[in-house]
A and B are shown apart, each in its own frame.
Chain A
Amino acid sequence: MTSTAHERATIAALAGFADMTTARLRSLRSGRTADEAYALAAGMVEPTAALSHEFRRSPRLQDRWRRSAASITPSSMAARCGDSGIEVVLPDDPHFPTPLHGDPRRPEVLFVRGSLDSLDARRVGIVGTRNPTRRGAQTAARFGHELAAAGVCIVSGLALGVDGAAHRGALAVEGARPVAVVANGLDQPYPRRHADLWAEIAERGALLSEWPPGVIPEPYRFPQRNRILAALSELVVVIESRERGGSLITAHEAAERGIDVFAVPGSIDQRSSAGTNALLEVGAAPASSSDTLLVALGLDHRRARRTAFDSRPRPHGVEADALERCTIRPQSVESLSMELSLDLAGAAMTLARLERSGWVAESGGWFEPVDEYARFV
């Protein structure tokens, strides 16, 4: 069964109504044709009992939908999608992603740029905080890169921080087809700093959204996006997360669906690992390398380890000690001087030398180790 162009345009328009949510769209849709659902929301027919109840609960909703109906027609929406190269996919369509079919909160419509075939590969969701440590961002890039090199499709949310690093790491692999699930219309790149990533993923993999062009990324849409991200993944790995955050919602959504959740362990007294360590405590599996994930997917991980030549001069003596401390946790001049019993000037000089030889990078007075994935951060 395949939906008609008119059906697709009508549901797309409906999804673009003000304050539309997945749940509202589903109840409008249930057992109705696309036209009936549209007429109901636009106020062209008497509201059903359930809908009147909804209107009473949100007093201005009826009014807003009426106004939306006046400005968003199926034909204008179809034109808008066409202009931005956005494809509308309904659950009835054959290429609607299979993992979403049986989902308890299945999206009623998907907007796609790029090719949904990208999802035919093995899929791993990589998520994490928007403000990672350098180590976190590098780990995300490393996992993205190594998994993509093993032919895995990286699913992520295109957010700043971990998401972006994972995507960049993956895109550096020739032929990689990563998938990004975003929370706004596909006509506007968000976050804007990832406009280049956005375009490249649309070109090589697929950009997915539950919402039509013109929908802005309001805060409540992100948790909803996370459920699709989780549902599309065969397993989800959380790279870094503080005690609360969107990546924990994704992990939760994944666990609810029986999808394995992995977390990268971190130091117990670093706030940046509070969320991932909490996940490990409630039963997530630890992932210290991408091999763990490949094994979990049943893929052969015994490939030849490519050992990249590291041109950086190996640090010796106190510099080696300092680098080791930086690897355990970010260090400032003060903390390093206390750990290694150096005077402040000595600690500053040691760190500055490590930075000049490319082993650590500094931001705001804190030094973190640099590895070969730093260029994706």
Chain B
Amino acid sequence: MFASVPAAMLFGARGHPVAVEVHVGKGMPGFHVVGLPDESVREARDRVRAAVMSSGATWPDTKITVNLAPSQERKSGSGLDLAIAVGVLAASEQVPLDSLATLAFLGEVGLDGSIRSIPGVAPMAGVLRELDLVVPVGNASEAWVVASRRVHPVGHLRDLIAVLGHDAPWPEHDGPPAPVIDPPGPDLADVVGQPMARTALEIAAAGRHHLLFVGPPGSGKTMLAARLVSILPELSPDASLEVTMVHSAAGLALPPSGLVVRPPYRAPHHTSSEVSMVGGGSHSLRPGEASLAHHGVLFLDELPEFASRVMDTLRQPLEDGAVRVSRAALHTTIPARFQLVAAMNPCPCGEGNAPGECECGDARVRKYIGRVSGPLLDRFDLRVGVERPTVDHLLGSERGESSVAVALRVAAARARADQRQGCVNADLSSIELDRHAPLDAGALAVLRFELEKGRLSARGYHRIRRVARTIADLGPAVVDSIDEATVSLALEMRSSVRRHATADGRVA
């Protein structure tokens, strides 16, 4: 007998529909999986056999052939277990074939017949929109978020057999949980003083500019960076779904509602490998940190300590907003439109940027900063010095402005930008800049001076103008052209890396 069961597999952050075809027929007892299964799929045989028998059904003592179609693509992972089990049961006439119509099955089975959660249910559900889904209980909420038809969370294969044999109704479940307000993350109110760094965070949030903090240890760079997400606007419905897909594919814990609504914050350690940063691995192409930070913040602490190859792998997603991963027979793109925030010491001794504070010679400083490649350093629209808070600030009882208040200004600035040009300021092209961020005479004089001095490259010139546009958007009133004070501040927001220490001496 033959049965074909719809399922899906995960590839990068995308689901691909798979038809699990099971044939149970005469021949030497055995179990064969064809259709390019990898080792993890081949192992399904032992899990499925035990699960079927634990659920009170019988394992057919004949030749069982499982084909995973389309058969040209490599299959991996345990997510096809449930479909194989159902296929075997249907092909051996233990459940009626007609009961499978309009159903797709996702999940791993345990030896005791329990149905276990798997990563990537959200993207897999996304490609099975024409069917009702049977999913593990643990994956129910993300499936509900994505699926367009019914979702049946089932905890045990025995229950599933009963339902399919028309002996029982679908198990009762609460249905999609009501959206929960996430517990608030760390708040900007915890940051005392630091007006420059706080302003930089606000500008970064409003214009989606990449941000580099330069400052001695203990100046609060990490603390500041962790608070960026608290002032970012909530994700749009589309973005929310994209982020949920990627997080689900990576097997990350999703919020109870199943949908990621806050921009994610990822802070990989500086010992991270290339694969962990941009994703990959042999078969399944797991999303890396760059993708997990999709529509959120990727924070790299101690930037110069990252391996230069790892830093370089970030350049392509920074440009394209997605990671292209290719292996011998596979390639895919995983979304990775993240906002890069990094922190570093001003020099190896870490004592600071202030003149006369530091013991490092120019050569040492240049070598240290040189560990961050020029092109990557260039991506940061904002490069802001952070100083240790003064004693007065530390001991004072005054708390900073709270994230809620700042987030309101950020949202207003984003709305202005969106209304004007339909994108965030960091994405403005140089032509759009002329239209949307014209400079007044004073501002033009400032930039002319910098350009003539050779301290500003053409690319730097555009970056300054984008940041200046954001600073203007954050102001109380709508302003069309950029003035001298705004452009001066934008320039200062890029000056924390010592001039003599950058390779060509330019602010660029």
- Once A344-B199, A363-B500 are accepted as A-B contacts, the answer to whether A272 and B485 lie under 8 Å apart by CB is no
A272 to B354 Cα, complex, angstroms: 10
Q: Do the beta carbons of B358 and A131 come within 8 Å of each other?
A: yes
Cβ of B496 < 8 Å from any Cβ of A? yes
List residues 297-321 of chain B with CB under 8 A from any CB of chain A.
none
Q: Do the beta carbons of A365 and B492 come within 8 Å of each other?
A: yes
| Chain B proximity of A134: nearest CB distance (Å) | 6
Q: Do the beta carbons of A160 and B387 come within 8 Å of each other?
A: no
* CB nearest to A333 among chain B residues: B492
Q: Do the beta carbons of A160 and B495 come within 8 Å of each other?
A: no
Residue from A271, A345, A356 having most chain B Cβ neighbours under 10 A: A345
| Chain A proximity of B358: nearest CB distance (Å) | 6
Identify which of B125-133, B163-171, B227-235, B359-367 touches chain A: B359-367
Cβ of A224 < 8 Å from any Cβ of B? no
Interface residues on A, range: 35 or more
Cβ contacts under 8 Å, B359 to chain A: 131, 242
Q: Do the beta carbons of A365 and B471 come within 8 Å of each other?
A: no
Cβ contacts under 8 Å, B194 to chain A: 334
Cβ contacts under 8 Å, A271 to chain B: 351, 356-357
Interface string of A126-138 (1 = CB under 8 A from B): 0001111111100
Cβ of B422 < 8 Å from any Cβ of A? no
Q: Do the beta carbons of B491 and A131 come within 8 Å of each other?
A: no
Interface string of A194-213 (1 = CB under 8 A from B): 00000000000000000000
Cβ contacts under 8 Å, B291 to chain A: none
Q: Do the beta carbons of B495 and A365 come within 8 Å of each other?
A: yes
A263 to B196 Cα, complex, angstroms: 35
Cβ of B378 < 8 Å from any Cβ of A? no
A368 contact from B355, B446, B486, Cβ within 8 A:
B355
Cβ of A253 < 8 Å from any Cβ of B? no
Q: Do the beta carbons of B499 and A364 come within 8 Å of each other?
A: yes
* CB nearest to B360 among chain A residues: A131
B385 contact from A272, A332, A338, Cβ within 8 A:
A332
Q: Do the beta carbons of A352 and B488 come within 8 Å of each other?
A: yes
B355 contact from A133, A333, A346, Cβ within 8 A:
A133
Q: Do the beta carbons of B196 and A364 come within 8 Å of each other?
A: no
Q: Do the beta carbons of A330 and B489 come within 8 Å of each other?
A: no
Q: Do the beta carbons of B195 and A160 come within 8 Å of each other?
A: no
List residues 339-359 of chain B with CB under 8 A from any CB of chain A.
346, 351, 353-359
A5 to B398 Cα, complex, angstroms: 77
A132 to B355 Cα, complex, angstroms: 7
Interface string of A326-363 (1 = CB under 8 A from B): 00001011110110000011101101100010000011
List residues 191-209 of chain B with CB under 8 A from any CB of chain A.
194-196, 199
List residues 232-271 of chain B with CB under 8 A from any CB of chain A.
none
| Chain A proximity of B344: nearest CB distance (Å) | 13
| Chain A proximity of B353: nearest CB distance (Å) | 4
Cβ of A366 < 8 Å from any Cβ of B? yes
List residues 36-90 of chain B with CB under 8 A from any CB of chain A.
none
A362 to B362 Cα, complex, angstroms: 16
Q: Do the beta carbons of A333 and B346 come within 8 Å of each other?
A: no
Cβ contacts under 8 Å, A345 to chain B: 471, 485-486, 488-489
Q: Do the beta carbons of A366 and B361 come within 8 Å of each other?
A: no
List residues 435-490 of chain B with CB under 8 A from any CB of chain A.
446, 449, 471, 484-486, 488-489
Cβ of B283 < 8 Å from any Cβ of A? no
Cβ of B497 < 8 Å from any Cβ of A? yes
Cβ of B16 < 8 Å from any Cβ of A? no
Cβ of B498 < 8 Å from any Cβ of A? yes
Cβ of A163 < 8 Å from any Cβ of B? no
List residues 80-138 of chain A with CB under 8 A from any CB of chain B.
129-136
Cβ contacts under 8 Å, A272 to chain B: 355-357
Cβ of A270 < 8 Å from any Cβ of B? yes
| Chain A proximity of B415: nearest CB distance (Å) | 22
A327 to B120 Cα, complex, angstroms: 61
Q: Do the beta carbons of B496 and A365 come within 8 Å of each other?
A: yes
A134 to B351 Cα, complex, angstroms: 17
Q: Do the beta carbons of B356 and A365 come within 8 Å of each other?
A: no
A35 to B499 Cα, complex, angstroms: 55
Q: Do the beta carbons of B195 and A362 come within 8 Å of each other?
A: no
* CB nearest to B499 among chain A residues: A363
A363 to B385 Cα, complex, angstroms: 11
* CB nearest to B472 among chain A residues: A345
Q: Do the beta carbons of A332 and B387 come within 8 Å of each other?
A: yes
Interface string of B121-164 (1 = CB under 8 A from A): 00000000000000000000000000000000000000000000
Cβ contacts under 8 Å, B495 to chain A: 362, 364-365
Cβ contacts under 8 Å, B358 to chain A: 131
Q: Do the beta carbons of B485 and A364 come within 8 Å of each other?
A: no
Q: Do the beta carbons of B486 and A131 come within 8 Å of each other?
A: no
- Once A332-B385, A345-B486 are accepted as A-B contacts, the answer to whether A366 and B362 lie under 8 Å apart by CB is no
- Once A333-B196, A334-B196 are accepted as A-B contacts, the answer to whether A352 and B491 lie under 8 Å apart by CB is yes
A338 to B194 Cα, complex, angstroms: 10
A12 to B449 Cα, complex, angstroms: 55
Q: Do the beta carbons of A334 and B357 come within 8 Å of each other?
A: no
Q: Do the beta carbons of A131 and B361 come within 8 Å of each other?
A: yes
Q: Do the beta carbons of A334 and B354 come within 8 Å of each other?
A: no
Q: Do the beta carbons of A344 and B489 come within 8 Å of each other?
A: yes
Cβ contacts under 8 Å, A344 to chain B: 195-196, 199, 489, 492
Q: Do the beta carbons of B362 and A160 come within 8 Å of each other?
A: yes
Interface string of B360-393 (1 = CB under 8 A from A): 1110000000000000000000000101000000
Q: Do the beta carbons of A348 and B485 come within 8 Å of each other?
A: yes
* CB nearest to B351 among chain A residues: A271
Residue from B194, B199, B355 having most chain A Cβ neighbours under 10 A: B355
Interface string of B185-229 (1 = CB under 8 A from A): 000000000111001000000000000000000000000000000
A346 to B489 Cα, complex, angstroms: 8
Residue from A131, A363, A365 having most chain B Cβ neighbours under 10 A: A365
Residue from B194, B362, B488 having most chain A Cβ neighbours under 10 A: B488
Q: Do the beta carbons of B489 and A348 come within 8 Å of each other?
A: yes
Q: Do the beta carbons of A132 and B356 come within 8 Å of each other?
A: yes
- Once A333-B196, A365-B496 are accepted as A-B contacts, the answer to whether A349 and B356 lie under 8 Å apart by CB is no
Cβ contacts under 8 Å, B387 to chain A: 332, 334-335
* CB nearest to B353 among chain A residues: A364
A129 to B362 Cα, complex, angstroms: 13
- Once A334-B195, A363-B498, A365-B385 are accepted as A-B contacts, the answer to whether A270 and B446 lie under 8 Å apart by CB is no
Q: Do the beta carbons of B356 and A133 come within 8 Å of each other?
A: yes
* CB nearest to A342 among chain B residues: B485
Q: Do the beta carbons of A333 and B357 come within 8 Å of each other?
A: no
* CB nearest to B455 among chain A residues: A362
A80 to B126 Cα, complex, angstroms: 81
Residue from A136, A270, A346, A366 having most chain B Cβ neighbours under 10 A: A366
- Once A131-B361, A352-B488 are accepted as A-B contacts, the answer to whether A366 and B353 lie under 8 Å apart by CB is yes
* CB nearest to B475 among chain A residues: A345
- Once A344-B195, A344-B196, A363-B498 are accepted as A-B contacts, the answer to whether A349 and B346 lie under 8 Å apart by CB is no
Residues of B within 8 A of A (CB): 194-196, 199, 346, 351, 353-362, 385, 387, 446, 449, 471, 484-486, 488-489, 491-492, 495-501
Contacts A333-B196, A334-B194, A364-B497 supplied; 14 other A-B pairs, CB < 8 Å: A130-B361, A131-B359, A271-B351, A271-B357, A330-B354, A332-B196, A333-B492, A334-B387, A345-B471, A352-B491, A362-B499, A364-B498, A365-B495, A366-B353
14 contacts between A and B (CB under 8 A): A160-B362, A271-B351, A332-B196, A335-B387, A344-B195, A348-B488, A349-B485, A351-B492, A356-B446, A364-B495, A364-B497, A364-B501, A365-B385, A366-B355
Residues of A within 8 A of B (CB): 129-136, 160, 240, 242, 270-273, 330, 332-335, 337-338, 344-346, 348-349, 351-352, 356, 362-366, 368
- Nearest first, the 7 A-B pairs at minimum CB distance are A272-B356, A133-B355, A364-B498, A334-B196, A133-B356, A348-B488, A345-B485
